[in-house]
Chain A
């Protein structure tokens, strides 16, 4: 066979320089008239090893990591031309063990089955990997709409956007409501800061989402489809558009699809304009209709009256990507994975202070600890694991002592966090939990649409309290005030944004109350993050009198001439930390 060289060109791969690597390899190929096949794929999930280049030859497959232009030349020269793989750069291979195997060994890839393996811009490659076969099976075997819904119910698939509502049930409701027009919407407005699963699926395997939507459209008799995608994901939008055009050309979209009489369905992409609240179903619908994206009261639920007042079904990207696999392999095969109430697999985006950040897909029921330490390789610089944030601004922090918690909807909810869309941001001893809570509150406060008083004003008041705590102006009773406000906001907000906004504060108070107390009573930040609570001093033994700190101090708080020991005037110091970062001799200490 002809040797294949495949470059991973997802957004993060490109950010790491994969585009330049691809161009370089293309140039070598042309200049030296080499005969290998050069291909593109998307995210493999090993973001921590980007840029990634895979070579498949007669002997097997080799995944090379951290390949810059220089290394690319070496790999092409040695592996492709001289048939001797450069083992030092291989991060994974089916021929021998590598340390990165622990990243992939325990993963089960259903949602991400094709990501990193196919060219996302080629419908033929998707079809080769059983693509659109689920849809063909429905058409060929005469599977009825209710059969499809029954299969989804039996599979136990729950909404992967965070809500966890059974997908089959949602489809059943939409199917029950009869109307001349119905809509199916894919929620690709992945707004949680710290989550990038949906982006990777859209960039890496857009057809799986399309096929899931088409099957959903069949099940609920939808006539139109909308993919509501963040404008911040230009590559995802581009690849989705290519996929839609290809699907239309091949007859997977259009009239009487695959010969199913009366099954007419088409879809288009709607670019979001940057509002987190549009992840909420009713706000998303308002946004598609061209209005301000504000949620409305339910009922009526979208299944009865949604887009343009017609029955509408909304599912998330990851949910749709699972659908074709379930139809093809059967509900029982999917339900084999997972726990009693949470079936199947879940994709997580690992980020923060973790050694191997990237995308993993694991069966529900794996412990948080295993995800972070076995797959994620543990904490950066071997620091101490403090907590993991799950569920973004709606979620909470799971502390280290609860890291045996398994990932399923109910177990994660019991800790006060939520499964959410699957972001896992890992924190270590250098992360201040009050700062984290403040960060999320700042986010929800800015993103609150302003409709409900408690959400609009309550989040603002909470943010003010948190800010003053981090500035050393915390007062006795602040913790109780935060709790009181939290419950008020949760109880009196219309939509998910407000109902969950206090979660990051409540979970950090629950598990890190002593840290709050240290900030309020002792004016101390043990993680050394809240700069206003720190004191910068010169460590006299290390000071060489180089004057760099004094020159850079914006308020001239540092005195001392050349080759003299310097001194910081605490009354003038504004605690900006410039001296600390500029000093090359570790002569500025923090306390």
Chain B
């Protein structure tokens, strides 16, 4: 259930300083519009990659939307992240079609070589591994998406190869 997404304790020390002034044009655009909360959060996440605490505070101060309401919405929707993510987000599809074509093997192999859990970020900050519901490319199942690029008809070994290739090009 979605309540599981709410975190009771947040560690203060992982807060990264964020330049909240970057939010000004966004706030300007949506400030007095009805139903602006989700576009505001989406816009903020586009800027920072996730939504740091200071951003919530700034948005709340400038728009008058209570922090509690913002946190409620941010934890309800799967799209919003409250922690920094890696440079590349690996989205492994676990829709029905991918499931029956053994998407599990992809996640298992990637977990092993990246040494992270589902939803975790690698130590070097290069990759975040995520399971997603359906990318809509069911005919190419099983698929994964990295930085907007979709890779289809995979198995565990092929997925590992793709990730390794990206890592090599990043390290060079």
Query: Could you tell me which A residues sit within 8 Å of B by CB distance?
Result: 11-12, 14-16, 47-48, 50, 190-196, 199, 231-234, 270-271, 273-276, 287-293, 308, 349-353, 357-358, 389, 392, 423, 425, 427, 431, 436, 439-440, 443, 445-450, 456, 459-460, 576, 581
A275-B2, A287-B38 in contact; A15/B140 too (CB < 8 A)?
yes
**Closest Cβ–Cβ distance, residue B160 to chain A (whole Å):** 12
Q: Which of A12, A48, A193, A358 contacts B134 (CB 8 A)?
A: A193
CB <8 Å contact, A12 and B140: yes
CB <8 Å contact, B1 and A48: no
Nearest chain-A residue to B135 (Cβ)?
A232
Q: Is B17 an interface residue (CB 8 A)?
A: no
Contact digits for B1-21, partner A, Cβ 8 Å, 1 yes 0 no = 111100000000000000000
**Closest Cβ–Cβ distance, residue A388 to chain B (whole Å):** 11
Q: Is B66 an interface residue (CB 8 A)?
A: no
**Closest Cβ–Cβ distance, residue A284 to chain B (whole Å):** 12
- Could you say which residues of chain A place their CB within 8 Å of the CB of B141? 351-352, 357
9 A-B contacts (beta carbon < 8 Å): A11-B136, A15-B151, A16-B140, A193-B94, A194-B97, A273-B78, A351-B97, A358-B139, A443-B133
**Closest Cβ–Cβ distance, residue A435 to chain B (whole Å):** 8
A15-B151, A47-B139, A427-B100 in contact; A456/B1 too (CB < 8 A)?
yes
A194-B97, A353-B100, A425-B97 in contact; A273/B135 too (CB < 8 A)?
no
**Closest Cβ–Cβ distance, residue B7 to chain A (whole Å):** 15
CB <8 Å contact, A357 and B139: yes
CB <8 Å contact, A233 and B136: yes
A11-B136, A12-B137 in contact; A460/B1 too (CB < 8 A)?
yes
At the interface, is chain A mostly helix, strand, loop or mixed? mixed
Interface-facing stretch out of B29-37, B54-62, B120-128, B164-172? B29-37
CB <8 Å contact, A196 and B136: yes
- Could you say which residues of chain A place their CB within 8 Å of the CB of B73? 290-292
- Could you say which residues of chain A place their CB within 8 Å of the CB of B4? 446
- Could you say which residues of chain A place their CB within 8 Å of the CB of B151? 15
A195 to B137, CA, bound (A): 9
Contact digits for B73-110, partner A, Cβ 8 Å, 1 yes 0 no = 10011111000000000000011110111000100100
- Could you say which residues of chain B place their CB within 8 Å of the CB of A48? 139
A443 to B98, CA, bound (A): 14
CB <8 Å contact, B96 and A392: yes
CB <8 Å contact, A290 and B36: yes
Nearest chain-A residue to B105 (Cβ)?
A581
**Closest Cβ–Cβ distance, residue B159 to chain A (whole Å):** 13
CB <8 Å contact, B138 and A196: yes
A193 to B72, CA, bound (A): 25
**Closest Cβ–Cβ distance, residue B172 to chain A (whole Å):** 23
For chain B, the bracket of interface size reads: 35 or more
Q: Is B158 an interface residue (CB 8 A)?
A: no
- List 16 extra interface pairs beyond A193-B99, A293-B76, A449-B76, CB under 8 A: A12-B140, A12-B150, A193-B94, A196-B134, A232-B135, A270-B38, A290-B35, A291-B37, A389-B96, A427-B100, A436-B99, A439-B96, A445-B1, A456-B1, A576-B108, A581-B105
Tell me which of A275, A352, A431, A450 has the highest count of chain B C-beta atoms within 10 A of its own C-beta.
A352
Nearest chain-B residue to A446 (Cβ)?
B1
A276-B133, A290-B73, A349-B138 in contact; A423/B79 too (CB < 8 A)?
no
Contact digits for B30-53, partner A, Cβ 8 Å, 1 yes 0 no = 000011111101100000000000
Q: Is B129 an interface residue (CB 8 A)?
A: no
A232 to B150, CA, bound (A): 12
CB <8 Å contact, B35 and A275: no
Tell me which of A11, A48, A194 has the highest count of chain B C-beta atoms within 10 A of its own C-beta.
A194
- Could you say which residues of chain A place their CB within 8 Å of the CB of B80? 273
- Could you say which residues of chain A place their CB within 8 Å of the CB of B133? 191, 193, 274, 276, 443
- Could you say which residues of chain A place their CB within 8 Å of the CB of B140? 12, 15-16, 47, 50
Q: Which of A276, A290, A357 contacts B138 (CB 8 A)?
A: A357
Nearest chain-A residue to B4 (Cβ)?
A446
- Could you say which residues of chain A place their CB within 8 Å of the CB of B150? 11-12, 14-15
A16-B152, A273-B77 in contact; A449/B96 too (CB < 8 A)?
no
A275-B2, A289-B34 in contact; A351/B77 too (CB < 8 A)?
no
**Closest Cβ–Cβ distance, residue A190 to chain B (whole Å):** 7
Q: Which of B36, B39, B134 contacts A194 (CB 8 A)?
A: B134
A352 to B102, CA, bound (A): 10
CB <8 Å contact, B148 and A234: yes
- Could you say which residues of chain A place their CB within 8 Å of the CB of B105? 581
A273-B42, A274-B78, A392-B96 in contact; A448/B143 too (CB < 8 A)?
no
**Closest Cβ–Cβ distance, residue B68 to chain A (whole Å):** 11
Nearest chain-A residue to B97 (Cβ)?
A351
- Could you say which residues of chain A place their CB within 8 Å of the CB of B1? 445-446, 448-450, 456, 459-460
Q: Which of B94, B101, B152, B156 contacts A581 (CB 8 A)?
A: B156
Q: Is B132 an interface residue (CB 8 A)?
A: yes
CB <8 Å contact, A194 and B78: no
CB <8 Å contact, B95 and A290: no
CB <8 Å contact, A15 and B2: no
A378 to B125, CA, bound (A): 45
